[in-house]
């Protein structure tokens, strides 16, 4: 089976490259240089020429703050392009696997993990355009699996873990918000889960929206403390602070923990605890430095 992965040079795309080594299927990894997903004709040509039966869409506009001023491009990449992928793979009788986000929630004051059937109440353009992408998929009628994830990090690209590793190793003091709670997610864990589902043909009959993040819950402050401790960056004094001490154009969700019960029940897979996965990532980053 031929599988197209868009956004192949991003965090999740790179982790998928690791996951699919030795697969019985043929994975085609593309990024913007190879395929412009905002061009419906190019997407359709790619799908038809390669008889693509599954698309894993890892491409997105993910700069949360910049999206507030770049609304049109965010909508183009996070919604219109998703429609292009959905229509093309539907025409070829295939399935779309879409990556969405915890940012589709946030406006309502939650204090229990968010379920898949909960109404989306995004607080900014990024979350709104990702929600529009989900709606485009539903309207297209394509067979699909949507995975909402959160606080994604990895050994690749720019992410919170790599930023905090650098800051806690060089700064004497650091302030990090403690009034936003969620769950860090190691992109390799999500990539492995997606690969397992495709490799074992668990897409059929299990279409729908799923939540996937690592197990547990923490604030950005707790996350940073764990990063520093695991890396041995003990000289940095990390202090908790409120979100309003860091003015931003977008209001981030104060609580966006995702309920993963549906994912675990449907696919019978164990989800790693966030600190266990963080240890693995930091160990790999340290080894890569050596």
Q: Using CA atoms, how far apart are residues 106 and 252, in angstroms rounded to an integer?
A: 7
pLDDT digits (tens, 9 = 90+) for 43-74: 999 999 999 999 999 999 999 999 999 999 99
DSSP-based three-state secondary structure for 52: strand
Residue 237 lies in a domain: no
Residue 130 in domain? yes
- First-last CA distance in the chain: 38
Average pLDDT score over the chain = 96
Asked, for residue 247, whether it belongs to a domain, the answer is: no
CA distance 41 to 179: 45
Residue 246: predicted pLDDT: 84
pLDDT at position 79, please? 98
Residue 250 falls within a domain, yes or no?
Answer: no
126 is catalytic: yes
- If pLDDT is split at 50, 70 and 90, which confidence band does 89 have? very high
Query: What was the pLDDT predicted at 107?
Result: 79
Domain range holding 22?
2-153+185-214+256-272
**Residues 141-169 pLDDT 10s:** 999 999 999 999 999 999 999 999 999 99
Report pLDDT for 108.
72
Does residue 17 lie in a domain region? yes
Q: Cα–Cα distance between 143 and 88 in angstroms, integer?
A: 12
Helices assigned H by DSSP within the chain = 11-19, 40-49, 71-75, 81-91, 125-140, 160-170, 187-199, 220-231, 261-267, 274-289
Radius of gyration, alpha carbons of the chain? 19
290 has a pLDDT exceeding 80 = no
Residue 106 has pLDDT above 90, yes or no: no
Residue 250 above 90 pLDDT? no
User: Is residue 252 pLDDT above 90, yes or no?
Assistant: no
- Catalytic site residue from 61, 103, 126, 186: 126
- The reply to whether 190 falls in a domain is yes
> Which pLDDT score is estimated for 251?
84
Q: How many domains does the chain have?
A: 1
Higher-scoring residue by pLDDT: 280, 248: 280
Rounded CA-CA distance 133/38 in Å is: 13
> Domain with 57 in it: what CATH number?
3.40.50.720
How far is CA 216 from its chain centroid? 17
The answer to whether residue 268 sits within a structural domain is: yes
DSSP characters over 202-213: --TT--EEEE--
How much is the pTM?
0.97
- Contact, 172 vs 244, CB < 8 A? no
CA dist 254 and 115 (Å) reads: 16
For residue 228, is it within any domain?
no
């Amino acid at each position: 089976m031929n599988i197209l992965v868009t956004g192949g040079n991003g965090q999740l795309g790179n982790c998928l490259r690791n996951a699919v080594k030795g697969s019985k299927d043929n994975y085609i990894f593309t990024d913007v240089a190879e395929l412009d997903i905002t061009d419906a004709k190019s997407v359709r040509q790619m799908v038809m020429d390669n008889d693509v039966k599954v698309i894993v869409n890892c491409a997105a506009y993910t700069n949360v703050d910049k999206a507030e001023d770049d609304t049109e491009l965010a909508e183009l990449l996070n919604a219109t392009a998703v429609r292009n992928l959905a229509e093309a793979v539907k025409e070829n009788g295939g399935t779309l696997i879409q990556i969405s986000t915890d940012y589709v929630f946030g406006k309502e004051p939650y204090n229990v993990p968010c379920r898949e059937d909960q109404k989306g109440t995004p607080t900014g353009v990024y979350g709104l355009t990702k929600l529009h992408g989900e709606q485009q998929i539903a309207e297209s009628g394509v067979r699909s699996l949507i995975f909402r994830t959160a606080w994604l990090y990895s050994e690749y690209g720019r992410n919170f873990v790599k930023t905090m590793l650098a800051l806690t190793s060089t700064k004497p003091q650091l302030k990090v918000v403690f009034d936003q709670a969620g769950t860090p997610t190691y992109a390799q864990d999500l990539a492995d889960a997606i690969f397992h589902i495709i490799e074992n043909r668990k897409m059929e009959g299990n279409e729908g929206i799923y939540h996937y993040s690592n197990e547990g819950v923490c604030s950005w402050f707790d996350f940073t403390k764990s990063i520093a401790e695991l890396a041995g960056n003990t000289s940095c004094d990390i202090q908790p602070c409120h979100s309003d001490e860091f003015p931003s154009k977008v209001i981030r969700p104060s609580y966006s923990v995702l309920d993963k019960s549906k994912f675990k029940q449907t696919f019978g897979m164990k989800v790693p605890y966030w600190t266990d996965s963080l240890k693995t990532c930091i160990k790999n980053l340290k080894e890569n430095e050596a």
